[in-house]
């Protein structure tokens, strides 16, 4: 049977992709961010997951406003990192696991989550930057897992509630655990933490709120569901709503987790950057 061994969170800032490309990991600006990753890579190297469920939010590459799915799940053989317009280097395609994707889609819809299934899904920095951070050289890393991308809408309101995101994750857990193959799965929740790119409030970062979210997501994610969507915009910034991905990830991990690694740094680009490794104990 499939097992979920842990959850990984990271910001997915495009500038990080450029920094990797330019080899700036030890640069004084970047080092406090990149230092978070070697311990997580060591853990991944020991456990070698077969599949990475990558929960991210598309930023106007895979979806346009003509049709905007609230929750979309990739069901492709591979995921192509297409040109997203402003020149971060494109990576080679990432291998999918379409049979597992369809199993998850079946299970989620049976559980009354109405999914948009995607047999083609171009993936942007939100998907690829975390892969590069956790599996250097991705997708050409010897331990590169197969992947199932899941994208939630944070481009256009109404966005899902934090409570719905957590329930989504719990249904996702049920779907994965009912997969008969003997595989190890990690779940990535990417994006955030606090940032705002648009408006006179651009540059807003809220360390106190980010720290609160990183604390509560370990042992009491249900408390975070009392935060309303407009309150989330106010406290995390307009794009800090990406914290929804972390909640989806957390729901998939079961009741009890142990935080094996935690890092938080301000600023990376315009963002409070949070990184966590949550190991499952069930």
Partner 1 sequence: MAEELHHHTHIEGTTIFDGEMAMKGYALNKMCFSFNRADAREEYLSDPEAYYQKFKLSDEQKQACRDKNVLAMIAAGGNIYYLAKFAGIFKLDVQDVGAQQTGMTKDEFKEKLRKAGD
Which residues are part of the catalytic machinery? 125, 195
**125 interacts with partner 1 by CB under 8 A:** no
Q: What DSSP character marks residue 148?
A: E
**80 interacts with partner 1 by CB under 8 A:** no
**89 interacts with partner 1 by CB under 8 A:** no
**Identity of the residue, 201 or 260, whose beta carbon is nearer to partner 1 in the bound complex:** 201
* Sequence-separated (6 or more) residues with CB below 8 Å from residue 40: 8, 134, 261, 275, 277
| Segment near partner 1 (CB under 8 A); pick from 20-28, 43-51, 83-91, 178-186 | 83-91
**234 interacts with partner 1 by CB under 8 A:** yes
| Segment near partner 1 (CB under 8 A); pick from 20-28, 139-147, 167-175, 192-200 | 192-200
Measuring CA to CA, which residue among 100, 148, 140 is closest to residue 123?
A: 148
**Identity of the residue, 83 or 282, whose beta carbon is nearer to partner 1 in the bound complex:** 83
Phi, psi of 110 (to 5 degrees): -60, -30
| DSSP line for 46-113 | HH--SEEEEEE---SSS--TTS--SEEEE--SEE-----SS-PPPPPPEEB-HHHHHHHHHHHHHTT-
Count Cβ atoms below 10 Å from residue 157 Cβ, excluding itself: 11
| Segment near partner 1 (CB under 8 A); pick from 47-55, 172-180, 212-220, 264-272 | 264-272
Measuring CA to CA, which residue among 3, 4, 10 is closest to residue 243?
A: 10
Q: How far is the CB of 271 from partner 1 (least distance, A)?
A: 9
**205 interacts with partner 1 by CB under 8 A:** yes
**173 interacts with partner 1 by CB under 8 A:** no
Distance CA 197, CA 263 (A): 23
**22 interacts with partner 1 by CB under 8 A:** no
Among 101, 196, 263, 275, binds partner 1 (CB under 8 A): 196
Q: How far is the CB of 193 from partner 1 (least distance, A)?
A: 12
**Identity of the residue, 15 or 177, whose beta carbon is nearer to partner 1 in the bound complex:** 15
Asked whether the beta carbons of 188 and 242 are under 8 A apart, the reply is: no
Number of H helices, E strands in the chain: 10, 10
Tokens representing 267 are 């600023």
Among 199, 219, 222, 256, binds partner 1 (CB under 8 A): 199
**28 interacts with partner 1 by CB under 8 A:** no
* Sequence-separated (6 or more) residues with CB below 8 Å from residue 69: 63, 116, 151, 153
Q: Which residues lie near partner 1 (CB under 8 A)? A: 15, 59-61, 64-66, 82-87, 155-158, 196-203, 205-207, 230, 233-234, 238-239, 265-267, 269-270, 272
């Amino acid at each position: 049977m499939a097992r979920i061994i842990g959850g990984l969170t990271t910001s997915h800032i495009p500038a990080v992709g450029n920094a990797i490309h330019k080899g700036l990991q030890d640069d004084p600006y970047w080092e406090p961010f990149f230092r978070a990753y070697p311990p997580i890579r060591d853990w991944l190297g020991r456990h070698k997951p077969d599949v990475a469920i990558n929960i991210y939010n598309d930023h106007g590459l895979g979806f346009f406003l003509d049709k905007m799915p609230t929750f979309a799940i990739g069901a492709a053989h591979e995921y192509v990192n297409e040109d997203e317009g402003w020149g971060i280097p494109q990576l080679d395609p990432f291998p999918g696991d379409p049979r597992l994707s369809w199993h998850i889609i079946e299970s989620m819809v049976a559980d009354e989550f109405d999914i948009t299934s995607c047999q083609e899904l171009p993936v942007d920095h939100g998907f690829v930057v975390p892969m590069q951070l956790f599996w250097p050289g991705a997708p050409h890393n010897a331990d590169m897992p197969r992947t199932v991308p899941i994208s939630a809408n944070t481009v256009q309101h109404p966005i899902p509630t934090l409570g719905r995101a957590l329930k989504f994750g719990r249904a996702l857990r049920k779907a994965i655990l009912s997969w008969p193959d003997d595989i190890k799965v990690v779940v990535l929740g990417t994006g955030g933490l606090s940032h705002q790119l648009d408006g006179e409030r651009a540059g807003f970062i809220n360390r106190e709120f980010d720290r609160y979210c990183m604390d509560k997501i370990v042992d009491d994610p249900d408390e975070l569901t009392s935060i309303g969507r407009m309150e989330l915009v106010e406290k995390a910034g307009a794009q800090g709503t990406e914290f929804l991905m972390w909640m989806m990830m957390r729901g998939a991990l079961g009741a009890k987790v142990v935080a094996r690694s935690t890092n938080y740094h301000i600023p990376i680009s315009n963002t409070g950057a949070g990184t966590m490794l949550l190991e499952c104990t069930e």
